[in-house]
A = this chain, B = another copy of it.
Amino acid sequence: MELKNITYFVGQDSGSWAVQSMRAVAGKGLPLSQSLAIVKDVPSVENNKWLLRGFTSNLRYTTRPEKVVLDQQPSILGKPENSLAAFIPIKKSEAWWLLTQDERRKIMAEDSLHIEIGAKYLSAVSRQLFHCRDIGEEFDFLTWFEFSAYNKEKFDELLYLLRKTEEWKYVEREVEVRLKRV
């Protein structure tokens, strides 16, 4: 009966990623935890500070020319040199979800250059997007990024650029968790 393709992010006292910092960028934060564990099987609920879950999906906005660019530098998680990570759950406003596909695509891609900005950081930052609005979670997306200490400033720059965009005006809750591999 267990659903497949669900990844669980668990804030707890031990785990393979040590929490360096947690902050509420917009809206309500999450309870502080010392570590983060990422698991594919339903975790026990004991001793969890928080538990978020999501699924990977097909690309929902990308066009063929954009995908050609993305595919030139596939995102690889677990690279040994990538000792740092960021876990950023995001919830967009109801206004965003009332937009139609073409309207969301226009704001994200044309007005905000989300895909174009992201593409510049592909070699420095590995990432994976998880969806969770569809399964009734408190966030809409769980975003996960891995990078090296050398590329930390590049990642900060990427975050800075994305948060300035038109698209980010629709973000009503965002928590930033910075992590270091144990």
Contacts and interface: CB of A to CB of B under 8 A. Distances in A.
Interface of A: 1, 3-6, 42, 45, 51, 53, 55-64, 66-67, 97, 100-103, 105, 131, 133-137
A1 to B, nearest CB: 6
A167 to B, nearest CB: 15
Contacts of A100: 59, 62-64, 66-67
A133 to B, nearest CB: 8
Given A1-B45, A42-B1, A57 B134 contact: yes
Nearest to A51: B1
Contact of A136 (B5, B62, B63): B5
A12 to B, nearest CB: 15
7 A-B pairs with the lowest CB-CB distances in the bound complex, closest first: A4-B136, A5-B136, A63-B102, A3-B135, A64-B100, A55-B134, A57-B134
A50 B27 CA distance: 42
A89 to B, nearest CB: 16
